[in-house]
Amino acid sequence: GAGVSQSPRYKVAKRGQDVALRCDPISGHVSLFWYQQALGQGPEFLTYFQNEAQLDKSGLPSDRFFAERPEGSVSTLKIQRTQQEDSAVYLCASSLVPSYNEQFFGPGTRLTVL
Amino acid sequence: KQEVTQIPAALSVPEGENLVLNCSFTDSAIYNLQWFRQDPGKGLTSLLLIQSSQREQTSGRLNASLDKSSGRSTLYIAASQPGDSATYLCAVRLGSGGGADGLTFGKGTHLIIQP
């Protein structure tokens, strides 16, 4: 596709449920990023992949958060045992090569935990 | 830890005015700085990217400057239009491809252009 796509666009989960959020980066983009954006705040970095390698996961808030990119293209962010504080918009971004960092963002997945 | 601050938090001006949005960051050892706009319920649209060696970038009515040593950037919008209404976000990057490459964002400036 022409841009970064994410699915689902909206997700409602009951507290304690597991969720999986998908990101399809721009074709050929090596770098992939996940961010979390709380209401009224700027996005906060979660994790970064270069191809299938997860080079930085310093922003993941707890061990309930897990991300993977097994074939170096599509990525999945998984949240186990969701809590209300996990409610946010989860944004995915990609860039063509690691050293050139114009990041292109997807529309995000709005997660609401009840 | 890198912190990014944007001033003002909100701004409302009549159509046609020129305006300046400010961004400051605490760690001057950045790799680059990027300005985005975000429309309600949407993702981020990249506006301008300034490499650490550059002083400014221009795109149409937008001009962004970077003073790395003082930890400041400004986004200048000329002849504002109602369609410019959005939240504008500033973000900096420390790494150059091998790690620490995630962006650190400010909280944004919510801009309203009155018709």
- Chain B residue numbers touching A59 (CB-CB < 8 A): 102
pLDDT of residue B96: 63
Among partner residues B44, B102, B107, which is closest to A56 by beta-carbon distance?
Answer: B102
Distance CA B103, CA B91 (A): 6
B→A interface, C-beta within 8 Å? 4, 31-32, 34, 36, 42-46, 49, 89, 91, 93, 96-108
User: If you average pLDDT over residues A57-61, what whole number do you get?
Assistant: 92
pLDDT digit string (tens) for B50-86? 998 999 999 999 999 999 999 999 999 999 999 999 9
Given a cut of 90, whether residue A14 has pLDDT beyond it is yes
The minimum CA-CA distance between A59 and chain B, rounded to whole Å, is: 9
What average pLDDT does range B18-45 have in this prediction? 92
The Cα A74–Cα A22 span in angstroms is 7
Closest-CA distance of chain B to residue A78, Å: 19
What mean pLDDT comes out for the span B107-114? 96
Distances (CA, A) of B109 to B85, B91, B96: 10, 12, 27
Location of structure tokens 């009155």:
B114
Residue A1, pLDDT above cutoff 60:
no
Least trusted range by pLDDT, from A73-82, B12-21, B37-46: B37-46
Residues of A in contact with B104 (CB under 8 A): 45
Amino acid in the structure at residue A86 = D
CA distance B100 to chain A (A): 7
How close, in Å, is residue A35 to chain B by CA atoms? 9
What value does the mean pLDDT of chain B take?
A: 92
Q: Is the pLDDT of residue B13 over 90?
A: yes
Q: Look at residue B103 and tell me whether its pLDDT is greater than 60.
A: yes
Q: Is B112 left (phi over 0), alpha (psi -120 to 50) or beta?
A: beta
pLDDT of A100 reads 62
Average pLDDT over residues B39-53: 91
Per-residue pLDDT tens over the stretch A72-91: 999 999 999 999 999 999 99
- What is the mean predicted confidence (pLDDT) over A2-30? 96
Query: Shortest CB distance from B99 goes to which of A40, A56, A108?
Result: A56
Nearest to B7 by CA among B25, B21, B28: B21
Q: In the A/B pair of chains, how many CB contacts fall below 8 A?
A: 75
State mean pLDDT over B34-57: 92
Q: Give the model's pLDDT for residue B46.
A: 92
Query: Rounded CA gap, B46 and A95, in Å?
Result: 12
Identify whether the C-beta of residue B85 lies closer than 8 Å to the C-beta of residue B114: no
